Structure formats: C-alpha cells, structure tokens
Amino acid sequence: MPLYLTGRMTTGSPVQENYCSRIISPERATHQERSLWAEFCRTTSGLDTPFLSFSYVLTASRALRNVRICVIERAGQVVAFFPFQFPDLGHRLLGFGQRVGGELSDYFGMIAAEGIHIPPDRLLRLAGLNALLFTHLDETQARCGLTGTQPQTGLLIDLSLGGEAYWSALKRTDKRFVADTERRERKLIEAHGPLRFSFRHENPGAELDRLIARKREQYGRTGVEDALGDERSRRFLRLLAEGDDPLCRGIVSTLHAGDTWVASHFGLMHRDTLHFWFPVYNPELQQFSPGRVMVTSIIKRADELGIRRIDRGVGDSPAKRDFANVEHTFTRGLWYRRNLPAIFVRAGLSLRWRLKSA
C-alpha cells in the first residue's frame, strides 16, 4: 500500500495551502499520472531534460531498484512528482535518499506545475525522508523552492536557429577555432579515409557494449572512478538504449574515418535536446581532436536530425567550452530533518568525507 503523509506550507501569500502525498513505485503510476508528468515536462520551464522524464525514472527502477516517487496533491489534484531512490536497504531504513540514477544522472529535482513552491524541509516530510544527498540541481528548481550550495557551471549548445546557421555564425565569431577544427578534420580524412557518421544505430546493443568497454578502458587509463563498474549500471544503460520515448530516447552514435574507429557516444534525447552523456574517443587519434570532430558532425547534421540543443551537462572544461554558447548553474547539498536518523546520516557522511580527504 502507498504511504500517505501530509505537509503544510506558505506560498508567499497569507493563505496556507495543504498538500498530501502518496509514495509509490514507478511501476504503480497510473496512465493519467504518467500523462500529467509528461505535460509538466512540456509546459514547465527547466524540465526539458531526459533525466527528469518518467521513462528515465521507470527504467532506473527496473535496473537499479529501490526507486520511489512522491506524488504530491493539492485539493485532490496532482500538482507535482518528486522521484528519489535508496542506494541500499540500510539507506532505506534510515530514510536517506539520493537522486534517481545516483552517479548516472545529470539532473535532479521536482517535476511540478508552474507556481508550486515547496521548500526542502516540507518536501522531505512529504516524501517520508529524513535526509537526501544530491548534486545536479538545476537553477530553475529555485522556482519550486529547492536550492543547494557549491554552484557549478553547466554548458549548452543552442542550435535553435539551426545547425547550419549556428556554424555560419561561429565562423564569423571564432574564425581561428573553426579553421583549426576543419583542418583537423581534413587531416583525419587524408590519413584514414572519408568520415562515416551514424547518429543512431537501429540495433544499439553491440555498439553500446563496445562503447562501455572502451569507456571503462578510458577510466582505467586516466585514473577516474569507473562509473560503469557495476553490472546494474551497465544494464541501466542498455535498457535506456532500447527506449524510444520522445522524452527519453537512447542514442548510440559512432564516427569512423574509412575503416578506422574515431569516436562513439551514448546520449539521451528529450524531444529536440540531445544530452551529450557518455563519449569515448580513439586515443591513437588524439592529434585530430576526435571529440571535437564528433560534435561537429552532430552540429552539421542537427537540422535533419531535429536537434535544437546539445546539453553538455555539468563541468567547465575546455573541451566542454568548445561550441558552447549558453551557461546555467547546478548546485549540490544535503537536505535533512531535525531528528535522530538525520543526525546519524550527517555523522556518517562527515566521517566518510574526512576519511576521503585524509
């Protein structure tokens, strides 16, 4: 049975509004609730990302388990959804949640109608949580009353005027960068053969497995923590790659020069937004900037592919700065209630962070 909780808040006017909530698994969401979720994503600013779609949450539940949705109602009408997950049974017993997908999620927040404002302490009560650790909270979630700390930059490539128009404008504003990119592209073709770009493979399974293997090799070479070391994480990506929901469509892309593999990428489409997520490049072709050539290939075909925005996610590296023309801000933090379980959570996190920094 769903768990029912109540909360009370002030929305800035003298009138206080009562909210009630139901905690359900994604599989138990009704057709009406799923449709309303999609409607919120369509009509509310800041929700145009696959990571806040119902399909993403449902797929995470199938692959990772322990995913829950807090369905928030006002006057008998659903006005918001708040998805979260428990990493394991211990976290569940403590009421200690995290964003859906954990480290495999680039956005976090509430999916709500315009005008809904619920601060973190009220949201935790409605969700039956004692604490929640999060990153990737986009600045637009402030309209819902949700904020964090330690701001980080997110970068976007706005192609709303079209890929060809964008490229023409870039030639005028950054001639040196465009000339260098086109020179590297020509050198790559001279050395290995004509470019062959496949945006979405119809049967992505084998290509995705190759991408995952190469990405894990890259993690090993660079000393970065392996985000795909867990079989559940790899299964999650495979299930996403099979999805065909317009709000969360898996895209496996490859780029070859002649018979030589240049680069691969696994991302998610949300209508006309491509979230650039898991790229991997041929380390032997580093002098040709394979990542830059891959993004160029997408931009030049953006019009025919229906892409109007490429989301590079959080981070302000030089590679992500390439082509980016829009900035936004993500925050992170720990929301907690003033009770005994939350004290245990905070103490445990403090100890873990101290050990990591030692």
pLDDT tens per residue, range 316-344: 998 899 999 999 999 999 999 988 877 87
Q: Assess contact for 281 and 257: CB atoms under 8 A.
A: no
Residues of the chain with CATH 3.40.630.30: 161-307
Confidence at residue 12, expressed as pLDDT on a 0 to 100 scale: 40
When pLDDT is averaged across residues 264-280 and rounded to a whole number, the result is: 97
What does the radius of gyration of the chain's CA atoms come to, in whole angstroms? Answer: 22
Please give the pLDDT value at position 345.
81
C-alpha separations of 144 from 47, 112, 116 in Å: 12, 8, 6
CATH superfamily of 161-307: Gcn5-related N-acetyltransferase (GNAT) (3.40.630.30)
Tokens of 299: 């931009």
CB 153 within 8 A of CB 117: no
- Among 342, 331, 351, 353, which Cα is nearest to 99's? 331
Given a cut of 80, whether residue 106 has pLDDT beyond it is yes
pLDDT of residue 5: 40
pLDDT of residue 110: 98
Instruction: Tell which residue, 200, 111, 113, 107, has the closest CA to residue 154.
Output: 107
Please name the CATH architecture into which domain 3-153+329-357 falls: 3-Layer(aba) Sandwich (3.40)
| pLDDT for 17 | 67
* pLDDT at residue 10 is higher than 50: no
What gap in Å lies between CA 315 and CA 154, rounded to an integer? 6
Beta bridge partner(s), residue 78: 73
In the numeric block, which tokens belong to residue 352? 């873990």
> What digits encode the pLDDT tens for the residues 178-216?
999 999 999 999 999 999 999 998 889 999 999 999 999
Rounded to whole angstroms, the Cα distance separating 320 from 292 reads 10
DSSP assignment letter at 101: T
CA dist., res. 268 & res. 275, Å (int): 5
- CB half-sphere exposure, 272, CA atoms < 13 A: 17
Q: What percent of the chain is predicted at pLDDT more than 90?
A: 85
Instruction: Give, for 87, the enclosing helix (H) or strand (E).
Output: none
* Residues 150 and 333: beta-carbon distance below 8 Å: yes
302 pLDDT higher than 90: yes
Question: CA 295 → CA 68, 157, 299, 321, 357, distances in Å?
Answer: 35, 10, 6, 12, 36
d(CA 300, CA 174): 16
Q: How confident is the model at residue 11 (pLDDT cuts 50, 70, 90)?
A: very low
Question: How do residues 44-63 score in pLDDT, each as one tens digit?
Answer: 989 999 999 999 999 999 99
* Closest alpha carbon to 254 in 301, 210, 289: 210
Task: Compute the mean pLDDT over every residue in the chain, rounded to the nearest whole number.
Answer: 92
DSSP structural state of residue 47: -
Backbone angles phi, psi at 355, to 5 degrees: -65, -35
Among 9-18, 227-236, 324-333, the least confident range: 9-18
Token pair in block for residue 47: 């929700």
Q: What whole-number distance in Å separates Cα of residue 258 and Cα of residue 194?
A: 5
